[in-house]
Amino acid sequence: MIAAAALAALATVCALAAWRMTSVRWTWRAPRAAIALWQALGLTWGLASVGALLAYALEPWGRGVIHGLVYLVTHWREPSGLQRVGALAAGLALLTVLMAVVVVAMAQTLQARRRHRLLLSLVARDEPAVPGVRVVDHPGAAAYCVPGLKSQVVISEGTLSLLSRDELAAVLAHEDAHARERHDLVLLPFAALRWVLPWSKVVRDANASVALLVEMAADDHARLRVPPKRLATALLRFGTAGVYITPHGALGMGAENVMARVNRLVQPGPKMPARYRYGIVAGAVLLTTSAPLLWFLPQ
Amino acid sequence: MDVLWAERSPLTAREVGRLIADRDLAPTTVMTVLDRLTRKGFLTRVRDGRAWRYEPAASRDAYIAELMLEALDMTGDRSAALTRFAQAVSGTEAEVLRKALTELEEE
């Protein structure tokens, strides 16, 4: 019973921690460490929830989750009792859903990107002023990265006329960070979870928090190479360039997020001491290893 | 594609090859490219005697619009396919940003 209880407790702790993390602000002072913690929380929550159900179902054999599952498959015995069979079915179903959702999201994302790249190859052009960047002839302001093995940075004609040279360099440094650190891979599982639990406020907030942290991490990367003030003015120019209607599903958090990023750039607070940052990362690693270890616990 | 977009009427592979004058392309290369674009749905073609006549399936602007919709995250599905620099915000929110921008520029 210990393993099942411990895993259930772990899943609850992760859910509570995620709920807390959506409203705290210290994460902005160390976005990279916070992202690692978010990933650990998400992964551990999934493994612990599935593990708790399976551990309960397989508990009478006293073999733990992993060896219990092996025993189940090799000897083809079902656990006795309706409750335990139910827990087994629920655990396996949850595991399948979580894995399937990530796989489907990945497939859809890859397909959308392929189509996007194909269209870019047809209508985008090179611009001598910004080598290595694809330019789309459209008056709207857009700057983004199509991630992949060969990530592509794209800007619109509108961006070229909106920003000064320095600001454009700042934007490109920001996008370069996205491309280099593969931030899309960080966001993918959270976006997938949001897709399967669209009504859950915690999942929605978690997704938004991670998305903002990823932007802040890219801002931090860019400020090493360009004046932070230029990045800040570029952000504000972008935010005000919209002549568009708010896309449906947008949370009205736009301005708040932009201002949070601008304030960080213009008046950087005290940096989080390195020992705290390493502490957070170590905690994330410890958390990630805890669930798999509990899967082996025999009782 | 640019050649076909510039023309009003459908063209044969041979005509396309002639219009891409600056590049020394083999007629078969042009035909292969046109064939592949057709299979991907970017061109439509009709029989004209022994040759095919090709025509763009949609205008250049339509494709640009599709790209920009995704780029500005206005398709509604909020996918993680692209990573964007920043998003434009609406009316009153934009006012807050505009004020901040003026302040920052005056410093």
Residue A23 in tokens: 């409203």
Binning chain A into helix, strand and coil, the percentages to the nearest 5 are 75, 5, 20
Residues B65 and B77 in one domain: yes
Residues A134 and A201 in one domain: yes
* Tens-digit pLDDT profile for residues A68-94: 888 888 887 777 788 888 899 999 999
Residues A228 and A278 in one domain: no
Beta strands B11-12 and A152-156, pairing class: unpaired
Residues B6 and B50 in one domain: yes
| Residue B75 pLDDT > 60 | no
What is the identity of the amino acid at B76?
G
Residues A69 and A91 in one domain: yes
CA distances in angstroms from A270 to A28, A29, A82, A231, A274, listed in the order given: 11, 8, 57, 19, 12
Residue A17 CB partners (closer than 8 Å, separation 6+): A41
Residues B50 and B67 in one domain: no
Residue A232 in contact with partner chain B when CB distance is under 8 A: yes
Cβ <8 Å between B98 and A238: no
Would you give the DSSP letter of residue A61?
G
Residues B67 and B48 in one domain: no
Dihedral pair phi/psi, residue B84, rounded to 5°:
-105, 160
Residues B42 and B79 in one domain: no
CA distance A106 to B81: 9
Element (H, E) at A145: strand A143-146
The string over A73-87, giving b where at least 16 C-beta atoms fall within 10 Å of a residue's C-beta and e elsewhere, is eeeeeebeeeebeeb
Q: Residue range A211-217: average pLDDT?
A: 90
The total number of structural domains in chain A stands at 2
Element (H, E) at A126: strand A125-127
Q: What is the ipTM of this complex?
A: 0.76
Residues B66 and B50 in one domain: no
Residues B80 and B36 in one domain: no
Residues B50 and B66 in one domain: no
| Residue B80 pLDDT > 90 | no
Q: How near does any CA of chain A get to the CA of B17, in Å? A: 17
Residues B52 and B20 in one domain: yes
Residue A278 in tokens: 């390493």
Lowest-confidence segment of A33-47, A129-143, A155-169, B72-86 by average pLDDT: B72-86
| Residues of A in Cβ contact (< 8 Å) with B103 | none
Residue B101 in contact with partner chain A when CB distance is under 8 A: yes
Residues A52 and A149 in one domain: no
User: A62: phi > 0 → left, psi -120 to 50 → alpha, else beta; which?
Assistant: left
| Three-state secondary-structure class, residue A201 | helix
CA distance A187 to A208: 10
Confidence grade of residue A36 (pLDDT, cut at 50, 70, 90): very high
Q: What pLDDT score was predicted for residue A246?
A: 40
Q: What is the CATH number of the domain that holds B34?
A: 1.10.10.10
This prediction has a pTM of: 0.84
Cβ <8 Å between B82 and A188: no
Residues A138 and A244 in one domain: yes
Q: Residue range B17-31: average pLDDT?
A: 73
Would you give the DSSP letter of residue B80?
S
| Residue A146 pLDDT > 90 | no
| Residue A252 pLDDT > 50 | no
Owning domain of residue A206: 130-268
A28 closest CA partner among A229, A236, A256: A256
| Residues of A in Cβ contact (< 8 Å) with B76 | 247-249
Dihedral pair phi/psi, residue A43, rounded to 5°:
-65, -45
Residues B31 and B67 in one domain: no
Owning domain of residue B70: 60-106
Residue A167 in contact with partner chain B when CB distance is under 8 A: no
Q: Residue range A200-226: average pLDDT?
A: 89
The total number of structural domains in chain B stands at 2
Interface of A with B in 260-299 (CB under 8 A): 261-262, 266
| Residue B72 pLDDT > 70 | yes
Residues A294 and A232 in one domain: no
Confidence grade of residue A284 (pLDDT, cut at 50, 70, 90): very high
Instruction: Report whether A171 contacts A155 (CB < 8 A).
Output: yes
Q: What pLDDT score was predicted for residue A250?
A: 36
- Which of B63, B86, B94 lies closest to A235 in CB terms? B86
Instruction: Report whether B64 contacts A116 (CB < 8 A).
Output: no
Confidence grade of residue A42 (pLDDT, cut at 50, 70, 90): very high
Residues B64 and B94 in one domain: yes
Residues A212 and A237 in one domain: yes
In terms of pLDDT, which residue wins out, A209 or B29? Answer: A209
Q: What pLDDT score was predicted for residue A254?
A: 64
Instruction: Report whether A126 contacts A135 (CB < 8 A).
Output: yes
Residues B44 and B65 in one domain: no
Cα maximum dimension of chain B = 71
User: What DSSP assignment string belongs to A286-297?
Assistant: HHHHHHHHHHH-
